[in-house]
Chain A
Amino acid sequence: MKHLSETVLDVRNQFPIFDHPLPKGQPVTFLDTAASAQKPQTVIDREREVCERYYANAYRGVYRFGAMVDEELEASREAVRKLLGAESRDELAFTAGATMSLNVIANGWGRRHLQPGDEILLSVLEHHANFVPWQQVVAATGAKLRFIPLTPAGELDLSDPELFNNRTRIVAVTGMSNVLGTLPPLAELSQRAHAVGAILVVDAAQSLPHGPIDVVATGIDFLACSGHKLYGPTGVGILYGRKELLAETDPLIFGGHMIDQVHQDHSTWADPPARFEAGTLPIVQAIALRPALEFMESVGYEAMHAHELELTQAAHAQLAEIPGIQIYGPPPERKGSIVSFTMEGAAAEDIAHLLDRKGVFVRHGHHCTMPLHTWLGVPATVRASFGVYNNLDDVQRLADALRYVRQRLKLDT
């Protein structure tokens, strides 16, 4: 058996982005996978292949290319079905991304089913994409938002018995915080949601890149994710909805392949998933999602988890040695591979800017989670996030670059 570090090298070699050093010969230290992951060669090749060999619009033509595109799209949908353990391909629609999927769920199902006084339970961790659509739905329906509070470590505090009550209709939470790395207990949330007759919506944009989720075993009713965070193409995402629920979800966008009949005074919709696939699909991207999922499977989710945990632990240990750094969220063993921090005396913007000089690419700001940053009591954090291609050298370069930040900003004098 190969040692883990050799496997990592094999994996890294599949990403051509790392073949090209920066202008001064610096290696690329890419620590922003949580924002968007780099693409393996197979994904890049597949996108090219579709364009070069058999591109055509989907679900329209009977000619050879059209049929090949349809077949590939369905193969991709099937790969997603397997990843999620969904019962049927009809429960999976291609969307533009997690944001679009969440908007469909909130507006298509939420607006139709919520009554004044009903409650939607969210966590303080949510990305704006799983927050603002619900805020809008609440304004339109008279329902109310209720928030699951956080423990000091940034995990969900479910101790308040009032959280789940007979007015709760929807529980919408992230599968993994894009800032703290927190992993909410989805199975428990599902059980408690179902016990009061509510549905569970999971924003899996961050969690799915780190391991499969079984929607049936976990009891998830709706799920959203994005291809570009799964080592796949941009512009494509997935909306999963349990069959009965998708059937009672209104479409948000109209036209094209989502239509059944159009009369002068009204129209009817195709069955799901077509109902949620208005207009021309991101064909090339949806097809190239399959090699991305195959890549993740080839690495193996257990190996991936072990590797990412090692990097996260190493980052915690190294950053603890640097004065003034505070890391937010749970310990490495209880979170995904995200390390968000502040450094006393240095603004997040300066840190990110100075790290860039050392070829270390991180994100700074509120990461589309303003309510969470209000809870943290800081205007901005710096976020380093790890993917399968990162290694311990990357962690070392992050730590070295942070020491350089202290020196450049004269924090030690």
Chain B
Amino acid sequence: MNTVGLCTRAAFDQTQGACTLAATELMTLDELYEEFDFLPDWEDRCDFLIDLGMELPKLSSDEKIEPNRVHGCQSMVWLVTELDDSGDEPVLRVRANSDAMIVNGLIAVLLAIYDGKTPREVLDADAAEIFKRLELDRHLSSQRKNGLSGMVTRLRQLAAAAIVDLDQQAN
């Protein structure tokens, strides 16, 4: 097991159970698209995001620490990532929480894009396009967009670093 970024191995081991469970509870992108297409207006979609946010698996309090904070969001956001190489291919495991439920809803969308993906898939994903498809780009304040792009940048950096690491190991 490799750990990427700032999450310690101990923290990951402790929460591994919760992490796998979380992965099964999370929505896929296709489910999200379907749900959004079904909801007529922005307010309903917001409600849906809040509901998703309220169901988002929680980080433990020892993971909600300063090194895991994502700055640039109006609310508090913590992001924990690890590279899971227990399967055929190493994949990025992403967990994140905010104190704000609407932000947790947006995090659920990010997880649908990035969680359980290989570093290459993470780099290939076009979050901006997906947010556009969900019409989230039109409705988010510039502050929320900043916060989200802060998270996306962090995930892409981790994926890029993981690719370099994996290449080195292969050589």
Are A408 and B50 neighbours in the complex by a CB distance under 8 Å? yes
Is B75 in the interface zone, CB < 8 Å from A? yes
Are B74 and A364 neighbours in the complex by a CB distance under 8 Å? yes
Is B123 in the interface zone, CB < 8 Å from A? no
Q: Scan residues 58-105 of chain B and give those whose CB is less than 8 A from a CB of chain A.
A: 74-76, 98-103
A357-B43, A410-B54 known; A380+B74 contact, CB < 8 A: yes
Q: Say which residue of A350, A357, A364, A380 sits within 8 Å of B101 (CB atoms).
A: A350
User: What's the interface size class on B, roughly?
Assistant: 10 to 19
The docked-state distance in angstroms from the alpha carbon of A380 to that of B76 is 9
Are A347 and B54 neighbours in the complex by a CB distance under 8 Å? no
Q: How far is the CB of A86 from chain B (nearest CB, A)?
A: 39
Nearest chain B residue, comparing its CB with the CB of A366: B74
Question: Most chain-A CB neighbours within 10 Å: which of B43, B46, B75, B98?
Answer: B75
Residues of A within 8 A of B (CB-CB), count? 13
- B103 contacts across to A, CB distance below 8 A: 347, 349
Are A347 and B101 neighbours in the complex by a CB distance under 8 Å? yes
Q: Say which residue of A347, A357, A408, A410 sits within 8 Å of B100 (CB atoms).
A: A347
- A365 contacts across to B, CB distance below 8 A: 74
The docked-state distance in angstroms from the alpha carbon of A97 to that of B138 is 31
The docked-state distance in angstroms from the alpha carbon of A408 to that of B51 is 9
Is A224 in the interface zone, CB < 8 Å from B? no
The docked-state distance in angstroms from the alpha carbon of A116 to that of B45 is 57
Q: Scan residues 322-351 of chain A and give those whose CB is less than 8 A from a CB of chain B.
A: 347-350
A357-B43, A379-B76 known; A347+B50 contact, CB < 8 A: no
- A364 contacts across to B, CB distance below 8 A: 74
CB-CB contacts of B20-51 with A at 8 A, as 1s and 0s?
00000000000000000000000100100010
Are B98 and A347 neighbours in the complex by a CB distance under 8 Å? yes
A364-B74, A365-B74 known; A409+B101 contact, CB < 8 A: yes
Q: How far is the CB of A119 from chain B (nearest CB, A)?
A: 32
Are A349 and B100 neighbours in the complex by a CB distance under 8 Å? yes
- B102 contacts across to A, CB distance below 8 A: 349-350, 353
Q: How far is the CB of A297 from chain B (nearest CB, A)?
A: 37
The docked-state distance in angstroms from the alpha carbon of A365 to that of B46 is 20
The docked-state distance in angstroms from the alpha carbon of A365 to that of B54 is 21
Q: Say which residue of A353, A380, A409 sits within 8 Å of B54 (CB atoms).
A: A409
Q: How far is the CB of B142 from chain A (nearest CB, A)?
A: 13
- A357 contacts across to B, CB distance below 8 A: 43
Nearest chain A residue, comparing its CB with the CB of B53: A350
Nearest chain B residue, comparing its CB with the CB of A364: B74
- B76 contacts across to A, CB distance below 8 A: 347, 379
- A348 contacts across to B, CB distance below 8 A: 74-75, 100
- A350 contacts across to B, CB distance below 8 A: 50, 75, 100-102
Are A349 and B54 neighbours in the complex by a CB distance under 8 Å? no
Nearest chain B residue, comparing its CB with the CB of A347: B100
Are B99 and A347 neighbours in the complex by a CB distance under 8 Å? yes
Q: How far is the CB of B151 from chain A (nearest CB, A)?
A: 15
The docked-state distance in angstroms from the alpha carbon of A410 to that of B51 is 10
- B98 contacts across to A, CB distance below 8 A: 347
Q: Scan residues 371-413 of chain A and give those whose CB is less than 8 A from a CB of chain B.
A: 379-380, 408-410
The docked-state distance in angstroms from the alpha carbon of A408 to that of B76 is 20
- B43 contacts across to A, CB distance below 8 A: 357
Q: Scan residues 255-287 of chain A and give those whose CB is less than 8 A from a CB of chain B.
A: none
Q: How far is the CB of B88 from chain A (nearest CB, A)?
A: 39
The docked-state distance in angstroms from the alpha carbon of A364 to that of B75 is 10
Question: Most chain-B CB neighbours within 10 Å: which of A350, A365, A410?
Answer: A350
The docked-state distance in angstroms from the alpha carbon of A380 to that of B54 is 20
The docked-state distance in angstroms from the alpha carbon of A380 to that of B100 is 11
26 pairs from A and B in contact (CB 8 Å cutoff): A347-B76, A347-B100, A347-B103, A348-B74, A348-B75, A348-B100, A349-B74, A349-B75, A349-B100, A349-B102, A349-B103, A350-B50, A350-B101, A350-B102, A353-B46, A353-B102, A357-B43, A364-B74, A379-B76, A379-B99, A380-B74, A380-B75, A408-B50, A409-B50, A409-B54, A409-B101
Q: Which 4 A-B pairs give the minimum distances between C-beta atoms?
A: A347-B100, A349-B100, A347-B99, A349-B75
Other A-B pairs beyond A347-B98, A379-B76, 9, CB < 8 Å: A347-B75, A349-B103, A350-B75, A350-B100, A353-B46, A357-B43, A379-B99, A409-B50, A409-B54
